[in-house]
Chain A
Amino acid sequence: MDFETVIGLEVHVQLKTASKIFCSCSTAFGAGPNAHTCPVCLALPGSLPVLNKKAAEMAAKAVLATNCTLNRESRFDRKNYFYPDLPKAYQISQFAMPIGEHGWLDIEVEGRPEKKRIGITRIHMEEDAGKSSHDPFRPVSLVDLNRAGTPLIEVVSEPDMSSPAEAVAYLRQLHAIVRYLDVCDGNMEEGSFRCDANVSLRPKGETKLGTRTELKNLNSFRYIEKAIHYEIKRQESILRSGGKIIQETRLWDSVKNQSFSMRSKEEAHDYRYFPDPDLVPLVLDEDWIEELKKNLPELPEIRKARFMESLGLKGDDAATLTASRELADYFEACLEKCSNVRRCTSWVAVHLLGLLNARGLSIEKTPVSAKALGELLQLLEKGDINDKIAREVFEDMAKSGRPAEVIIREKGLSQVSDSSELEAAVQKVLEENPAEVEAYKGGKTKLMSFFMGKVMKATRGQANPKVVTELLQRMLG
């Protein structure tokens, strides 16, 4: 029997506000334990939550950017559960009336020509819980409530994905969108973009869903792919041997490359949701929505299509260059200095990204600014330097932070295009290699690159290859 995989994803996106969702405590990461707390997020009696307007706007933007219906009215509910990292013993969330519903993302999976539409069930706002750490030797846990009350949106997908690759494609796109919107910093290691995956198998052709497990602790795209793959294999072997899947939560251990059962999944009704009387409804009027729509940036998919259509980029390059808003901005800033699209594309996608990868840097921390790279490419375009020298200059720029022009001047790297100066060098090479000259004249035209190499060496790579080719052709002809 063949099985088919069904995957649904729940993504928690931490909104990039300065203060928490229902109180004015800071959301900054890394403060001392419980330093960022107040009566509201400590759940002291008599305190009242008040919604952060920016958080509501950020949530609304995410709703608009994922093709969801933006609900004109949404409300807050209490989700009851009992963990010490949730001091009120409930989490404020949105249950019956979330801010957004019925959206979708169209994803591309490598090797398939058609896009696949993945439904988004809902997007709701909620507050994050605190952090508890368990003492390994004593029966106690230590609770830090700095994170309690940090604004989140939860994006719940339909169970529309059928492979780990599709799940990752969906997540990458959602990740790019929230980064483009500037509503989330996207840092997966610090937990700003967290994903839980619901995975189940069913016999091919069956329409009823099989029993699912929920995978947690997936804090990188690579782990997500691995963990889902592992879960599919695990469930398949259980089903094949006639066993039954237990509905449970499983934690991914990225060191052991295995998942472990955490606890049996609490049923939805255990949360006993009810409207939070402390918070009034959020109503978005037309003017406000228009304002939000007007301020939406160009989204990654649209920017990618524009790069392909109006700049003529290949799909792969367009995808690479639009993976983050900062990189796409960098590329366009570079284009402003040097209008050769192909040249800018390969320098940004290959050399710049190569440099950043090698140093483990993000684009925001690039040692070579878009303007500086653009200037280098301009000099290359004008023929002042050749490709090889440009790479050398680029390396120097990355190390020293100096502009291209200064490096070229100081190191005397300007390309020699003066043919009378080059003629002497070419003449010398031909004189020193009479056998090759004979062979060339006898029809071995491939030796052209041999002569070119010799001339380049003699001129320390500074000769203009176009001029040298012309000279060689003339002097050998």
Chain B
Amino acid sequence: MHVAGLARLHMDEGDVERMATQLGTILAYVDTLKEVDTEGVAPMSHAVHLVNAMREDTVGEHLGVDIGLSGTEEKEDGHFLVPKIVG
């Protein structure tokens, strides 16, 4: 609920119950993973052995404010309009 609060998601009682069951399944799966013997295996973050995917520092094309904001109704003077977040 704390994370939902931070993320500004609305959840009713039914949602909470359904999420609790789903999260329970996920946690059980993580427990299964814990049983694997990882002694002497370095932690990895990627399934592919790829490093240094980089681009040169050149300026490319911009989407432009019209297309950039075309996905939302909530806009004003080229800005995205959002509920006020203080601090």
A pairs with B: yes
B66, chain A: closest CB distance, angstroms: 10
Nearest-neighbor residue (CB-CB) of B78 within chain A: A33
- Complex CA–CA separation, A19 to B80 (angstroms): 22
Of A115-123, A135-143, A408-416, the one contacting chain B is: A135-143
- Complex CA–CA separation, A257 to B86 (angstroms): 22
Number of interface residues of B (CB under 8 A): 37
B67, chain A: closest CB distance, angstroms: 9
Of B17-25, B32-40, B54-62, the one contacting chain A is: B54-62
Whether a CB of chain B sits under 8 angstroms from the CB of A476 is no
Q: B63's contact among A38, A54, A143, A282, by CB below 8 Å, is which?
A: A38
Contacts of A275 in B (CB 8 A): 45-46
Contacts of B45 in A (CB 8 A): 75, 275-277, 281
- Complex CA–CA separation, A53 to B55 (angstroms): 6
Q: B87's contact among A26, A44, A262, A276, by CB below 8 Å, is which?
A: A262
- Complex CA–CA separation, A89 to B81 (angstroms): 16
Whether a CB of chain B sits under 8 angstroms from the CB of A270 is yes
Given contacts A25-B62, A262-B87, A277-B46, A51 and B80 within 8 Å (CB-CB): no
Q: How large is the interface on A (under 10, 10 to 19, 20 to 34, 35 or more residues)?
A: 35 or more
Whether a CB of chain B sits under 8 angstroms from the CB of A81 is yes
Q: A140's contact among B7, B51, B58, B83, by CB below 8 Å, is which?
A: B83
Instruction: List the interface of chain A (C-beta within 8 A of B).
Output: 17-19, 23-26, 32-39, 42, 44, 50-56, 73, 75, 81-84, 89, 132-135, 138-145, 262-263, 270, 275-277, 279-283
Instruction: List the interface of chain B (C-beta within 8 A of A).
Output: 6-8, 45-46, 48, 50-65, 68-69, 71, 76-87
Given contacts A37-B65, A42-B63, A53-B54, 10 further A-B contacts (CB under 8 A): A24-B58, A24-B60, A33-B78, A34-B68, A37-B62, A134-B86, A142-B79, A143-B79, A263-B87, A283-B51
